[in-house]
Amino acid sequence: MRPTRALIDLEALRHNYRLARELGGRKALAVVKADAYGHGAVRCAQALDDEADGFAVACIEEALELRESGVRSPILLLEGFFDTDELDLIDTHDLWCVVQGEWQIDAIGRSRPAKPLMIWLKLDSGMHRLGLDAANYRACAQRLQAMPQVREVVAMTHFACADELDNERTIEQQALFNRACAELKLATSLDNSPALLGWPGVRGDWARPGLMLYGATPFAGPHPVADRLRPVMSVESEVISVRELAAGEPIGYGARFVTERPSRIGVVAMGYADGYPQFAPDGTPLAIDGQPGELVGRVSMDMLTVDLTDHPAAGLGSHVELWGNQVRASTLAARAGTSTYRLFCGLKRMPRRYLGDHSRMQSRTSPD
């Protein structure tokens, strides 16, 4: 079998969730959209179900997958419904729903849910993607609060630049949000991962951590709080071939790398079709049998090449970590000119192995 796989440490996921909740001070919805940023939404949500205050996903398809797998905690649809037909399913499966436009308020007003709905009303505080304008916000909130179809309204907004710790836009967005919510007496939700980790003055009743749950920092440099995160995913493979080459020999497509000395080159079963960044430059870090190593040559669809010259003990079958505990995903993403978000979401074609899954093991082996 191809030796390429992603190990997912569910104990690290729980550690990171607890850190998110500790930083936020109140409740936290674990964001598990896009298959839990490539980590497997069902397994991640099951591992957190006992302690998470709830989950957040991008669409009803993702929410139903979690419900079908037995997840009982609240699940918030971050973009609400795309089609009014979804309101029946939202009601049946007890989902929470963002409202980001006035047409959705009209649709809720015409709906007949069996149980009143939990609505998160989104304010556009400056990102200008989803949400209501500040000018309409209060009237929309009051309209929803007056509807028999609505149980509670939570006020939410989303930050555009919270990963830039010297960018004042976060404070401006917070101030605009506070003004729009004044006198409404709603529970609030502002923080994504960068706000939780880097903006201690920005807090609401509900945090919405995503990236940090998976152990990656959203910041460009070291950060005392983000450094407490534990990586959840390790992507690893093995050396499947070794070449001894003289100086001056080209390697791989486009002959991008040419050996400068007599070299031992290892071929690793990992390529851009697996989600490794196609344009990672020569010298991109990886770990070979636990030692720091380097990528050389262009990444192929199914393979990449590493320099083994300074790793005399390494050879066929040597273990290679592409990213994980030794090479942080954020380091690789920065070197390859991509983002950690994209790196995680781009994972493909490899089996995932889960570690630290004690809750499921117990429930499976328990006699009752």
Ligand X SMILES: *Cc1c(COP(=O)(O)O)cnc(C)c1O
Interface with ligand X (CB under 6 A): 31, 33, 78, 158, 192-194, 208-211
User: Which contiguous run of DSSP H or E holds residue 193?
Assistant: helix 193-198
Report how far residue 63's alpha carbon sits from residue 5's, in angstroms, rounded to the nearest whole number: 26
Pick 211 or 229: Cβ nearer ligand X? 211
Residue (of 213, 216, 230, 219) closest to 21 by Cα position? 213
> Which CB, 193 or 237, lies closer to ligand X?
193
Distance CA 287, CA 319 (A): 8
d(CA 173, CA 159): 7
Q: Cβ atoms within 10 A of the Cβ of 244, count?
A: 11
Is-contact 206 21, C-beta < 8 A?
A: no
- The smaller minimum CB distance to ligand X, of residues 229 and 270, is found at 229
Name which of 21 and 33 has its Cβ closer to ligand X. 33
User: Coil, strand or helix: which one is 56?
Assistant: strand
CB of 214 to ligand X, least distance (A): 8
Fill in the DSSP letter of residue 163: T
What burial class does residue 228 get, using C-beta atoms within 10 Å of its C-beta: 0-12 exposed, 13-18 middle, 19+ buried? middle
Least distance from ligand X to the Cβ atom of residue 37, Å: 7
| Minimum CB distance to ligand X, residue 211 (Å) | 4
Query: Smallest distance from the beta carbon of 191 to ligand X, in angstroms?
Result: 8
Which residues does the annotation mark as catalytic? 33, 253
Take residue 173 and report the two structure tokens written for it: 């967005």
**Closer Cβ to ligand X, 192 or 263, answer by number:** 192
List of E strands, the chain: 5-9, 27-31, 54-57, 75-77, 95-99, 117-123, 150-157, 187-189, 206-207, 233-245, 250-251, 257-258, 263-268, 285-288, 291-294, 304-307, 319-323, 352-355
Q: How far is the CB of 353 from ligand X (least distance, A)?
A: 24
Q: Which is nearer to ligand X, 194 or 297 (CB)?
A: 194
343/210 Cα distance (integer angstroms): 14
Amino acid identity of residue 72, one-letter, is R
CB of 35 to ligand X, least distance (A): 13
Task: Tell me how far, at minimum, the Cβ of 48 lies from ligand X, in Å.
Answer: 15
Cα distance between residue 64 and residue 122, in whole Å: 22
For ligand X, which is the closer residue by CB, 24 or 209? 209
Q: Residue 115: which of 95, 143, 145 has the closest Cα?
A: 95
